[in-house]
Amino acid sequence: MSAVLSASDHGELTRSNDRDWWRQAVVYQVYPRSFADADGDGIGDLRGILSRADYLAALGVDAVWLSPFYPSELADGGYDVADYRDVDPRLGTLADFDELVAALHERGIRIVVDIVPNHTSDKHEWFQEALASGRGSAARERYIFREGTGPDGSEPPTDWTAAFGGSAWERVADGQWYLHSFAIEQPDLDWNHPEVREDFLRTLRFWSDRGVDGFRIDVAHMLTKDLRDPLPSAAELAAMPIDGTHPLLDRDDVHEIYAEWRRLFDSYDPPRTAVAEAWVATDRVPKYASPESLGQSFNFDLLRAGFDAAQFREIVTDNMSLAARSGSSSTWVLSNHDVFRHATRYALPLIEETDESVPNRHGGGWLEAGADETVIDRAGGVRRARAASMFLLGLPGSAYLYQGEELGLHEVAEIPANQRQDPTFFRTHQAQYGRDGCRVPLPWTRSGSSFGFGAGGAHLPQPSWFADSSVQAEEEDPSSTLSLYRRAIALRHELVADEDLEWVETGRDDVLHFRRPNGWEIVTVFGPMPFGLAPDSARRVVLSSAAIDGHLVPGETTVWLAGG
């Protein structure tokens, strides 16, 4: 047995003596506005999460990561933060937050909050002050203001595009332009400014003092920028290597900030943890994950891969060696609030190997807006998603789960244009659906208002098929995805031991088999054909799809064989 809390140990956390709780934690991401709505206004809230604390405990997760719950105009789903040290009144109060922390801690669940340091909301008091104070003012120096180009300065300073489409610059009333790498309502901060640095330290202390156990750092690779004139064009930027010297991305000097944050985190007992959301080349990840920096970094490789044995094996091998190099543990992610749910990615038709830029397996593609949804193989997608999730939960390192994946939820594609919220949809002139489909409020009950999400409606429309994927329906069914996740997470506390694995050759290209140091074995069949196991099936403790005869593992299925 490992020293990690087991699902049945839901007593008060022995918090001071477990500095390494995060290394192999199951972390469950809650998108607060879509989890549970206690006050019936259609928007999920902190008391809603509180009301589901027992659900989280029954799932057996080690930690909950809350996406932003701060005051926000919701130009980007809460990642446009107007005040970093408060709760959005629609979501509750600081007192509700304290109650939630206490309720989770009582159940042995840690809490991680999201910090968004690259940009504020345009409603943040600093940006309002910058607008009111005018060009050349000290208030503008906290952001990135520049004069425009063209005879009257009416052209943006450069031709850079924002992540959600359109220009990365926006003009203000007096004619200056400001940089926004994301939505117009998300002005980028200037991290050379000492007040910016000081204020984020204050924010990290504020939440640490309130009992938060860790932080997820939003776009951690973009904070520092070299914006000396002349600014390069988009084409010039694209041609520059991203090797620590790029003007905008993954600059080496960003780690000075994290070294300072690390000193703050380590002043707490146990030290506060942090995980970087850094979309950087795999070999640059260790910089963010080192103990002197944030300590852990997301690895999005599985999330970007197809459902394919060769890709999965290479990703696991590479990332484990990277984690070992940095002194961190590996992280595994299949879904989050920014991507199509993996059940749906794996439900899309196979992509042939003709285009080398996309994986040739289920999961390589995305559903374009207006695409023919009848091509989605819903049952197949869920079967593969269950197999992939059980593969992931068997790996050494931390598993990051996204709310609803434990129900095997599909992406919701059927959202009318006038109810969509994601800026991606609008800034791409509706060419891309964006991320609303994975943010639809969760179904808790088979029927009733908003499927038990709350007493009112749901801020994004829920489809009728949510009934059968509701928590209520799945709790009654021992073969449901929820039952599978509960069982696997409870057992995972027995299989986590040393952060190591050994591959066992299977003789088949589409089957992966690995053994953990304590003897637990995980076998995943990626192809449709069953795979014969050695005749010790008594050790089968988790099977991601319906059993077939004898010692066969069905196609597109993962099995766990208990150790010893």
3-state secondary structure of 61: coil
- Alpha-carbon distance of 61 to 26, in angstroms, equals 5
232, amino acid identity: P
Question: Of the two residues 117 and 454, which places its CB atom closer to ligand GLC in the complex?
Answer: 117
**Cβ pair 521, 508 in contact under 8 A:** no
Could you say which of 116, 303, 323, 496 contacts ligand GLC (CB under 6 A)? 116
Could you say which of 41, 141, 338, 377 contacts ligand GLC (CB under 6 A)? 338
Question: Of the two residues 341 and 386, which places its CB atom closer to ligand GLC in the complex?
Answer: 341
- Alpha-carbon distance of 76 to 219, in angstroms, equals 14
Question: Of the two residues 218 and 521, which places its CB atom closer to ligand GLC in the complex?
Answer: 218
Could you say which of 37, 62, 76, 190 contacts ligand GLC (CB under 6 A)? 76
Q: Which helix (H) or strand (E) holds 261?
A: helix 254-266
3-state secondary structure of 399: strand
Residues in CB range of 305: below 8 A, 6 or more apart: 311, 312, 315, 359, 361, 363
Distance between the two ends of the chain, CA-based, in angstroms? 12
Question: Of the two residues 182 and 340, which places its CB atom closer to ligand GLC in the complex?
Answer: 182
- Alpha-carbon distance of 185 to 80, in angstroms, equals 7
Q: From the CB of 57, what's the least distance to ligand GLC, in Å?
A: 26
Output the DSSP codes for 72-118.
---TTTT-S-S-TTS--TTT--HHHHHHHHHHHHHTT-EEEEEE--S
- Alpha-carbon distance of 377 to 379, in angstroms, equals 6
Question: Of the two residues 297 and 470, which places its CB atom closer to ligand GLC in the complex?
Answer: 297
Residues in CB range of 323: below 8 A, 6 or more apart: 286, 289, 329, 330, 397, 499
Mask for 254-293, x = binds ligand GLC (CB under 6 A): -----------------------x----------------
Could you say which of 45, 170, 188, 218 contacts ligand GLC (CB under 6 A)? 218
Footprint on residues 370-429 left by ligand GLC (CB under 6 A): none
Q: Does 436 bind ligand GLC (CB under 6 A)?
A: no
Q: From the CB of 107, what's the least distance to ligand GLC, in Å?
A: 26
User: Tokens at residue 78, please?
Assistant: 């809460």
Q: From the CB of 182, what's the least distance to ligand GLC, in Å?
A: 4
Question: Of the two residues 38 and 219, which places its CB atom closer to ligand GLC in the complex?
Answer: 219
Phi and psi of 105, rounded to 5°? -60, -40
- Alpha-carbon distance of 270 to 511, in angstroms, equals 41
Preceding amide of 396 cis, omega within 30 = no
Q: From the CB of 122, what's the least distance to ligand GLC, in Å?
A: 13
Beta bridge partners of 170: 178
Angle value at C-alpha 57, between 52 and 63, nearest 5 degrees: 100
Residue number with the smallest Cβ distance to ligand GLC: 79
Spell 503-525 as b/e; 16+ CB within 10 A means b.
eeebeeebbbbbbbebebbbbbb
Closest CA to 348 of 374, 323, 320: 374
Footprint on residues 19-48 left by ligand GLC (CB under 6 A): none
Question: Of the two residues 79 and 444, which places its CB atom closer to ligand GLC in the complex?
Answer: 79
**Cβ pair 352, 359 in contact under 8 A:** no
Could you say which of 84, 182, 346, 433 contacts ligand GLC (CB under 6 A)? 182
Number of residues located near ligand GLC, criterion CB under 6 A:
9
Question: Of the two residues 421 and 557, which places its CB atom closer to ligand GLC in the complex?
Answer: 421
Could you say which of 65, 70, 79, 258 contacts ligand GLC (CB under 6 A)? 79
Q: Does 219 bind ligand GLC (CB under 6 A)?
A: yes
- Alpha-carbon distance of 200 to 498, in angstroms, equals 35
Q: From the CB of 76, what's the least distance to ligand GLC, in Å?
A: 5
Footprint on residues 318-337 left by ligand GLC (CB under 6 A): 337
Question: Of the two residues 116 and 495, which places its CB atom closer to ligand GLC in the complex?
Answer: 116
Q: From the CB of 94, what's the least distance to ligand GLC, in Å?
A: 23
Q: From the CB of 275, what's the least distance to ligand GLC, in Å?
A: 12
Question: Of the two residues 213 and 277, which places its CB atom closer to ligand GLC in the complex?
Answer: 277
Q: From the CB of 78, what's the least distance to ligand GLC, in Å?
A: 8
Q: From the CB of 276, what's the least distance to ligand GLC, in Å?
A: 11
Question: Of the two residues 281 and 375, which places its CB atom closer to ligand GLC in the complex?
Answer: 281
Question: Of the two residues 86 and 338, which places its CB atom closer to ligand GLC in the complex?
Answer: 338
Question: Of the two residues 46 and 116, which places its CB atom closer to ligand GLC in the complex?
Answer: 116
Q: From the CB of 212, what's the least distance to ligand GLC, in Å?
A: 18
- Alpha-carbon distance of 120 to 237, in angstroms, equals 24
Q: Does 65 bind ligand GLC (CB under 6 A)?
A: no
Q: Does 99 bind ligand GLC (CB under 6 A)?
A: no
3-state secondary structure of 318: helix
User: Tokens at residue 282, please?
Assistant: 């795999």
Q: From the CB of 218, what's the least distance to ligand GLC, in Å?
A: 5
Which positions lie near ligand GLC, rule CB under 6 A?
Answer: 76, 79, 116, 182, 218-219, 277, 337-338
